[in-house]
Each structure stands twice: as structure tokens, then as C-alpha cells.
């Protein structure tokens, strides 16, 4: 007989950067599978989306400790626990590598690395109190093969890969996991992506945000309970390194 899918009823997921893209798709995916969801974004879209699905949300930035704390506090006060956290980010500066200013590099540290470090400080005690849990960070396949188009993103997310290993080693004994989802070309509607954009991807298409969100939920749930400290490439085979 086929196995019965594990139920997430009663579990709580926090999604930072849940107003658009993979973050918003993750809010929908968690809610559709029984999670109670608390979401945050600067625009207010994450809060509106979570509330429309029976959850809750706050307006704020992943670069501000007080906003992250408000999101965590809301989840704990409203639902009494936290089982999963998703860290998603906006976009940092682009351009030739030596034309990126010090201020833009510093912004990238906040946006792609310290956002995870700060959230981990806030939420880890709650994950431990819940008997274990998982943090999933939305990253990029450029960690393995850096693209000159995104110098800040690939540099800081390579640093995030190292932090994730350190975190996984420290908190694995307490049942808390952290993994990074390394995405390739991902769009809400892959059918709208021009064919020339996908000619170098073996699957010859972009990934949908809904597809990515299903993997986020997998990494957050019991099905992946033996996975931690990993960088999971979901790029349609575009990166070539082994």
C-alpha cells in the first residue's frame, strides 16, 4: 500500500520575503499542506497573502533585526511554536565586480548573509523548544559557478553556504536543520520565458516558483529529516560542476 503523506497540521512556518516569487509560492504551499503561516515582506504583500490564507504577517525588511523579531514574536504569540523558517531575499546591486561600491557590498552582506544569521539567533530557541525544526534559505546555483552578472549575490551566498555548514554542525544534535535551495532560472510563469533564455538549460525551460516551493516544503518537513548542511541545486541541470 502507498504510504500516507505526513500531515503538517498544527505546525507553524515563518516565511521571510514572502511577498513575491519563491517566497510567496512557499506561503501558498505551506498553507495548502496544513501549516499555519506567518509571513513578512517590506511591501505588505506577504502579510496580505498570509492573512488571505488564514495566517498572519508583518511588514518589514530582512535587514532589520527588529522586523525579524516582530515576525518571530507574532508566530509565537499567535500559534505558540515555530517549526520551519524560510529566508528569501530581494536583489542586490549588479555590475562589473570592481564597480560595486563598498556600500553595495555591505548591503549584500545584510541582504544575503546576516539576514540568515540574525534570524537564526532569534528563531533557533523556538525550533529547539518545538522538538526540532528546519531553516531553508533561498540561494542561487551561482554559488557553484559564479556569474559575473550577479557578483554580490554569488559572493555572499557562497559565504552563506559556509555558515550553513557551521550551523548544521552546531544544532544538528538538537534536531534543528538548515539547508540552502540553489535555484536556477525561476519565474512565476515559465511559459512566458523566451526560448533563447533557456537554450543553455538541459531541460530547456525555466522552473516555476510553485515547483521551487514544493522543494522548500520538502526541505522543511519530515520527509527530509536526515538532510542538513546541504546546498541543493535545482537548476534544470544548467550548472556543469560535479
What is the reported pTM?
A: 0.95
Task: Please give the Cα distance from 16 to 203 (Å, whole number).
Answer: 30
pLDDT attached to residue 169? 98
- Is the pLDDT at 5 greater than 60, yes or no? no
Q: What is the mean pLDDT of the chain?
A: 95
**Confidence tier at 25 by pLDDT (50, 70, 90):** very high
Mode of pairing for the β-strands spanning 12-16 and 36-41: parallel
Q: What is the DSSP letter of 18?
A: T
CB 185 within 8 A of CB 198: yes
Task: Please give the Cα distance from 17 to 132 (Å, whole number).
Answer: 23
pLDDT (tens digit, 9 = 90+) per residue, 114-155? Answer: 999 999 999 999 999 999 999 999 999 999 999 999 999 999
pLDDT attached to residue 242? 85
pLDDT attached to residue 10? 86
- Is the pLDDT at 2 greater than 70, yes or no? no
Amino acid at each position: 500500500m502507498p504510504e500516507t503523506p505526513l500531515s503538517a497540521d498544527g505546525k507553524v512556518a515563518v516565511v521571510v520575503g514572502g511577498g513575491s516569487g519563491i517566497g510567496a509560492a512557499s506561503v501558498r504551499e505551506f498553507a495548502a499542506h496544513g501549516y499555519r503561516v506567518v509571513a513578512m515582506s517590506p511591501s505588505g504583500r506577504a502579510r496580505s497573502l498570509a492573512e488571505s490564507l488564514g495566517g498572519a504577517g508583518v511588514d518589514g525588511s530582512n535587514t532589520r533585526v527588529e522586523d525579524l523579531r516582530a515576525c518571530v514574536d507574532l508566530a509565537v504569540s499567535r500559534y505558540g511554536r515555530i517549526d520551519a523558517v524560510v529566508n528569501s531575499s530581494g536583489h542586490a546591486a549588479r555590475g562589473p565586480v570592481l564597480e560595486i561600491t563598498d556600500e553595495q557590498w555591505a548591503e549584500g552582506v545584510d541582504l544575503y548573509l546576516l539576514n540568515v544569521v540574525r534570524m537564526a539567533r532569534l528563531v533557533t530557541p523556538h525550533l529547539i523548544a518545538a522538538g526540532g525544526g528546519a531553516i531553508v534559505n533561498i540561494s542561487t546555483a551561482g554559488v557553484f559557478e559564479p556569474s559575473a552578472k550577479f557578483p554580490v549575490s554569488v559572493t555572499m551566498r557562497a559565504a552563506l553556504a559556509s555558515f550553513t555548514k557551521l550551523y548544521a554542525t552546531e544544532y544538528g544534535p538538537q534536531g534543528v536543520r538548515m539547508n540552502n535551495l540553489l535555484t536556477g532560472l525561476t519565474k512565476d510563469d515559465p511559459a512566458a520565458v523566451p526560448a533563447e533564455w533557456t537554450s543553455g538549460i538541459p531541460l530547456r525551460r525555466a522552473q516555476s516558483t510553485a515547483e521551487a516551493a514544493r522543494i522548500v516544503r520538502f526541505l522543511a518537513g519530515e520527509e527530509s529529516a536526515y538532510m542538513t548542511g546541504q546546498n541543493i541545486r535545482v537548476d534544470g541541470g544548467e550548472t556543469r560542476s560535479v
